[in-house]
Amino acid sequence: MSKSLRLSEKWFRRGLWLVALVFASFLIGLGGTVVGDLPRVERALELDDFIDRAAAAPLRETIKAAEKTELAASRELEQISLQLSAAQQASANARETFGNWIATRRATAQPDQDPELIARTKALDALKNKEDAVQRKVDAQHQIVIDARQGEQRARESLAVLERDAQDKLDAEYRRVELRVFGYRLALTLPLLAVAGWLFVKKRKGTYWPFVWGFIFFALFAFFVELVPYMPSYGGYVRYVVGILVTVLVGRYAIVALNRYLARQKLAEQQPDQVRREELSYDTALTRLGKNVCPGCERPVDLKNNEIDFCPHCGIGLFDHCGQCETRKSAFSKFCHACGTSAAARVPLASAAESANSFTSGGPVQPAV
């Protein structure tokens, strides 16, 4: 159709298509914001919403107390371990000193050193007792840590059972929420798609067609781009079923439209030549002629052949002659390209012949009785 449009009209149409795209982009942005915010209509769910709180609360308190006890015992164990290391070092040093002193005493064999031997032995026993006492404290703290860990582990295992049951319930509720949110999105986008279909059928060639096409682009994007990522999968069944339904609907519409088109073409081909040319718009006829097809039946025609004046398929007139200069021209042209005479002012050949006969005979021809 672009070949039949005026230069200014071409640029205006391009500007209107730009308006349609800009309008669609703003609608898509608004729609994406609305679709993205739809999950907010549902309350955010947590695991605690489905767990047995009466049974879980004591277990969690037990875990907290065990963690606290284990932490305190670990800190105390660090301090006592340092004390044990110091006591062990002192005891080792005392034993080494005592051994050296014993060796010296044996060498001198002085009986007057027996009280000092007893005193040194008692001191060494005291260090050993202190070391043993610190070791018992270390063992006690180890036992406290072990008991706390085991108690915490038992509580965590019991709590894990409750959390697994709660997680199953939470997952099931998430699926229900997902379906509800998908329903909200479908309830929002499906009517838009239906309205877009109605606009495409009824209003796509109207005065405000840029806004119509902008809305159609928006509805298609909202349904097939923004809705599909949120579509429940269920192993792909939903996607395949929706794809089949959409394909069937589009295919049925195409088949019905094709049959209607063929029926209209068949009916139009039965009309007189003049009626068929009047029903064709000027731009449509020029567009089809520019594609080397018949404007009436849209079948291929060799328009470069000067001997073809009528479509060999449907019989519609493709070329005629100017009533002023008899130049061969397109039957759909509004003016003769050779002399500029309007095609509407063309006098039919039969009428011209009758007029010529009437003037040559001296008066109008009287009809025979």
Evaluate whether 251 touches 259 at the Cβ level (below 8 Å). Answer: no
Picking from 246, 270, 294, the residue at the C-terminal end of a domain is 270
Give the H/E segment covering residue 330: strand 328-330
pLDDT tens, residue by residue, 13-47: 778 888 888 988 888 888 878 777 766 766 777 77
pLDDT tens, residue by residue, 180-213: 777 777 788 888 888 888 888 888 888 888 898 8
Evaluate whether 56 touches 250 at the Cβ level (below 8 Å). Answer: no
- 306 shares a domain with 251: no
Residue-number span of the structural domain to which 287 is assigned: 281-359
- 246 shares a domain with 309: no
- 185 shares a domain with 158: yes
- 246 shares a domain with 129: no
Tokens (6 digits) for 202: 């009824």
C-alpha to C-alpha distance for 246 and 30, rounded to whole angstroms: 25
CA neighbor of 322 nearest in space, from 302, 308, 340: 340
What are the pLDDT tens digits along the chain (369 aa)?
445 556 666 777 778 888 888 988 888 888 878 777 766 766 777 777 778 878 888 888 888 888 888 888 888 888 888 887 887 787 787 777 777 667 666 555 555 556 776 777 777 778 778 878 888 888 888 888 888 888 888 888 888 888 888 888 888 888 888 777 777 777 888 888 888 888 888 888 888 888 988 998 888 888 777 776 666 665 456 667 767 887 888 888 888 888 887 887 777 777 776 777 777 777 788 888 888 888 888 888 888 888 888 888 888 888 888 888 888 888 888 888 888 888 765 444 444 334 434 434 444 444 333
CA neighbor of 37 nearest in space, from 155, 176, 188: 188
- 57 shares a domain with 157: yes
- 167 shares a domain with 215: yes
